[in-house]
Structure 1
């Protein structure tokens, strides 16, 4: 393999969790066929420590194609591997998850990185808004369900994020690559390279 075909790392960063103890080391890489998001997350949920490793692959249009998640805790290890096709059909270990049909994005509950997917895919102009259906991976059990969301671009670097019919709202700041810099009350970026 020549060096021109190797994935190119565009950004590495660390997020700090503000709502409870935790942090994440994250990398964004560009491939010839799309994008790779990887992260290692350490969080405390309901007083218990959890470690999550994930790798997420998208196509060139930022639509999710493959997701691998490993969660470790005192209860042991849990794994989840999902893949999606161009028609937004999803599979887990060869079984189609029919309820997720039509979801172009994944949303992994323990990281702000997956907000980048609809932000990049939708490419909204300032003032525009869009509704999306995401395949939401919950923590800590790694169950998956549909989560309706809405993104509104408020400025070149700020979005209003809403989910569950507006019952949750947050204003999210992002960098030029659409990666979160500040997401109150959840996360803030504390270190970055490649910018």
Structure 2
């Protein structure tokens, strides 16, 4: 079990994060509060991830400027149901990317288990909490050193050098997130 707090630099947030593991996989629970531009928000998310770091289900409850939203996703084999609707555009997607947390970078980092100086493109379900939008996105991860990864969003040319700990959890995501404490 790990408990930590991330500071959102750009999104002016704090995230209280907890992950527990058992013989089936990983259970994650987290709460984020913050403000960005003209938006005040809170996000609670839970997910179950199998031993291969593939997301099996998630529940995201958010409130942005007093508007509450719930997003529930379930993976059945290679198909995703989100809020009880089958979404074929996400077929075969293993990962989600929640806009306000660095945790979802851990999923592909730990699943891909890349050798140093190698990279791989992946498809993810991108969940933009502040704009209430969900869509498919292509990303690429390159392992540049033992605990360093170059993250690239293929669609918009965004790049960041991400540092992780021995568990694959983000320590530093320049200008976006920093781990500030861990128990």
Which TM-score band (shorter chain)? over 0.9
Match of 2:85 among 95, 110, 117: 95
- Give the TM-score taking structure 1 as reference length: 0.89
Aligned equivalents of 2:24 and 2:106: distance in 1? Answer: 17
- How far is the alpha carbon of 1:166 from its aligned partner? 5.9
Q: Unpaired runs of 5+ in structure 2?
A: none
- How far is the alpha carbon of 1:44 from its aligned partner? 1.2
CA RMSD after TM alignment? 1.3
Confirm or deny: 8 A CA contact 1:80 1:142 kept in the other structure.
no
- How far is the alpha carbon of 1:65 from its aligned partner? 0.5
Match of 1:72 among 63, 67, 72: 63
Aligned equivalents of 2:55 and 2:5: distance in 1? Answer: 22
Confirm or deny: 8 A CA contact 1:99 1:146 kept in the other structure.
yes
Per-residue deviation, residues 121-164 of structure 1 (Å, max 9, x unmatched): 00011111010000011122432100100000011110000003
User: Are 2:48 and 1:57 equivalent residues in the alignment?
Assistant: yes
Match of 2:139 among 139, 145, 149: 149
Q: Unpaired runs of 5+ in structure 1?
A: 1-8
- How far is the alpha carbon of 1:28 from its aligned partner? 1.3
Stretches of 4+ moved more than 3 A in 1? none
Quote the residue 1:48 is aligned against.
39
- How far is the alpha carbon of 1:23 from its aligned partner? 1.0
- Give the TM-score taking structure 2 as reference length: 0.95
Aligned equivalents of 1:74 and 1:29: distance in 2? Answer: 31
